[in-house]
Chain A
């Protein structure tokens, strides 16, 4: 139950549908399944096992493999801090939608409502403008909630989350039943499931698939190493990793049916083909789900409130894990109390996250999300595979995992970590780097992707280097 609980999050309900839609629906599913089995599950086993064995966060865990790798550990953990800072924007949107759900204020045009009323989006990333007051309030509530719950202790939250785990699945099932009975729904489902083999040569789609797997399974950012460090010495790793990975992707696959059935319905209403029905990109969930809620036969406001509350619960739960992946390193190295770390983190992260709720903030959110997931996490995954595959006694590590598991790992696991995953990731990264340099991303000006994209990646690398070089403090007593 705990593994399934940790698997279901905003990555499934918010990110998967928009990545699948922007990658051509059915064209995305084959790379997605390949990414799950070539990188997702092998790396999940690796990270959970490494955390359990080392009993420490990512920076010191990688530092134990080779000293300079502590820098990489800090950088990977920094990516998780970067994620939680921009990710809080979705929670700010969810707070605003929680209010609007009372009267379903999005009406018959959820996309226009999202872009013009909620985001008040400007024309380009250069026109940043002032923060939108309602979103600032939402952002403030997000960080206040995170801080208050962290202060009380994460254990109290995990009990609540255990109760709320089945809730998103029940809600998704209700919305799916309604979605499938709407006119045009099957057009959306057809677009979602029909593979487009001509797009399999497009490296951009492969990068998105691997980026989505890394984000959704919280890989390559130190989260799963931290999670593993809390597991008992005799806990089953391999089977837990399989359950986590399959439950996670199963939830995403299921959420896809809900969103694409709604997109099929919207396509019919607007008289447009499914690929042209919305331009909201990362905000797709805030167009599709309100549409679904409005189409329910009764209790729309109640369902709306429950849905956005669920979204908030899922998001805040994931925010703890991401925040902890970063701050655990400070606790391990300098013995700073978790309460103090949470306070400092929220105090710094809140003002920084305000950039994403400005009128141009949506563009910066899109750029940072793209670079951290599609480049940052994928580079981190590549380094991790090479570091553990070649610098760590990986055969002995496999025997250690097999010693406590019902599901035994064969030579395939080492082969995946050493050769298959790194080669695939390297080819995808190089191809996409060339494409980005030559063609840019989504029509954004070059300076915006340099500052928001590569700048973010570089910032965490520099900070990681500085943190690595700072001397550790010896434990007292």
Chain B
């Protein structure tokens, strides 16, 4: 595969799946904090 295709692949994975992982971790952290506050 040409380098430009690899770049597109890595960009798509990093932005979409990496971004999703970061956002989900923020949501989990927030939920944990909320349940701690509730206790």
A interface vs B, CB < 8 Å?
Answer: 26, 29-30, 33, 186, 189-190, 193-195, 236, 239-240, 242-243, 246-247, 249-250, 253, 406-407
Contacts and interface: CB of A to CB of B under 8 A. Distances in A.
A240 B2 CA distance: 36
Nearest to A234: B34
Contacts of B15: 33, 246
Contacts of B12: 29, 33, 253
A250 B20 contact: yes
Nearest to A252: B16
A203 B23 CA distance: 32
Contacts of A186: 1
A246 B27 CA distance: 14
A193 B30 contact: no
A250 B15 CA distance: 9
B5 interface: yes
23 contacts: A29-B12, A33-B11, A186-B1, A190-B1, A190-B2, A193-B5, A193-B9, A194-B1, A194-B2, A195-B8, A236-B30, A242-B23, A243-B24, A246-B15, A246-B16, A246-B17, A247-B20, A249-B16, A250-B16, A250-B17, A253-B16, A406-B26, A407-B23
Nearest to A257: B9
A243 B26 CA distance: 10
Nearest to A251: B16
Contacts of A249: 16
B8 A29 contact: yes
Interface in B9-39: 9, 11-12, 15-17, 19-20, 23-24, 26-27, 29-30
Chain B contact residues, majority secondary structure: helix
B17 to A, nearest CB: 6
Nearest to B13: A253
Contacts of A406: 26, 29-30
Contacts of B5: 26, 189-190, 193-195
Contact of A194 (B8, B19, B20, B24): B8
A240 B27 CA distance: 8
A193 B1 contact: yes
B27 A236 contact: yes
Nearest to B31: A236
A243 B20 contact: yes
B24 to A, nearest CB: 6
Given A250-B17, A253-B12, A239 B23 contact: yes
B28 to A, nearest CB: 11
A189 B1 contact: yes
A389 B15 CA distance: 27
Contact of A246 (B2, B4, B19): B19
A406 B29 CA distance: 10
A407 B27 CA distance: 10
A17 to B, nearest CB: 15
B18 to A, nearest CB: 9
A407 B22 CA distance: 11
A375 to B, nearest CB: 27
Contacts of A33: 11-12, 15
Contacts of B8: 26, 29-30, 193-195
Contact of A407 (B2, B17, B26): B26
A26 B27 CA distance: 33
A333 to B, nearest CB: 35
Contacts of B26: 239, 406-407
